[in-house]
Amino acid sequence: MITMKDIVREDNPILYKVAKEVDLPASKKEKETLKEMLTYLKNSQDDAIASKYGLRPGVGLAAPQIGLSKRMIAVHFQDLDGRQYSYGLINPKIVSHSVEKAFLTTGEGCLSVDRDIPGYVPRYSKITVKATDIEGNELKLRLKDYAAIVFQHEIDHLNGVMFFDHINKQDPFAIPENSHPIGQDEE
Ligand code: SB7
Ligand code: NI
């Protein structure tokens, strides 16, 4: 079972490397790891299990965050309209994106970062992602707003990019160009 002791922190160079493509079909071990990553997310969102094992709640997890430099991510969350997203994905790729951006009014956090880093993180408001799921099916997902933000946070981890890399250093709460807020005060 994956717990916080398995999660590498921001001082680990693996988080700043470009992760390797997974050869398809994925191995049994790679698929098991991806299932474990998804289980971490589900467990972390169950109050009883999370408090028993000291899990920080997470909506996504990328393989480099457990010390594995391979292009695999897991996501498990509901968007603001209540739509459930639960996927383990191999070699996810953003194949197109909007010009328009979006940002969470609360900023972002990361399981690999043990401190609050305030500021808006500009993301594309719409993306199309192609990936292979755990069963080996090719998927094409059209995502917007909150869902698009979560997927971009995870895919960034595969490219050695952290959420704080996107925050405006001069003015962390400057409204990004061409963007709309997501969260309490949206629309
Ligand atoms: C806020 C949090 C996340 C994504 C987008 C906005 C995920 C946090 C958990 N992770 O560290 C996953 O990489
Ligand atoms: Ni993260």
Confirm or deny that 180 is annotated as ligand binding.
no
Strands 179-182, 101-104: pairing is parallel
**Active-site residue flag, 154:** yes
Q: Is 110 in the pocket of ligand 1 (CB under 6 A)?
A: yes
Residue 177 lies in a domain: yes
Query: What pLDDT does 147 receive?
Result: 98
**Does residue 187 belong to any structural domain of this protein?**
no
Q: Is residue 150 in some structural domain?
A: yes
Q: Per residue in 45-81, pLDDT tens?
A: 999 999 999 999 999 999 999 999 999 999 999 998 9
Residue 183 beta carbon below 6 angstroms from any ligand 1 atom: no
In angstroms, what CA-CA distances link 168 with 2, 76, 122, 175? 33, 28, 9, 9
- Give me the CATH number covering residue 19: 3.90.45.10
Catalytic residue among 154, 177, 186, 187: 154
pLDDT at 80: 87
- Average pLDDT rounded to a whole number, residues 5-29: 98
The length of the chain in residues reads 187
Q: pLDDT tens for residues 80-132? A: 899 999 999 999 999 999 999 999 999 999 999 999 999 999 999 999 999 99
Which residues contact residue 70 at a Cβ distance below 8 angstroms, ignoring those fewer than 6 apart? 19, 20, 21, 22, 30, 63, 64
Q: Is pLDDT of 186 > 70?
A: no
The pLDDT of 36-51, averaged and rounded, is: 98
Instruction: Determine, yes or no, domain membership for 50.
Output: yes
Q: Which residue has the least CA distance to atom 3 on ligand 1? A: 150
Enclosing domain of residue 54:
4-182
Q: Is the per-residue pLDDT at 184 higher than 80? A: no
**Domains held by the chain: number:** 1
- Regarding the beta carbon of 60 and ligand 1, being less than 6 Å apart is answered yes
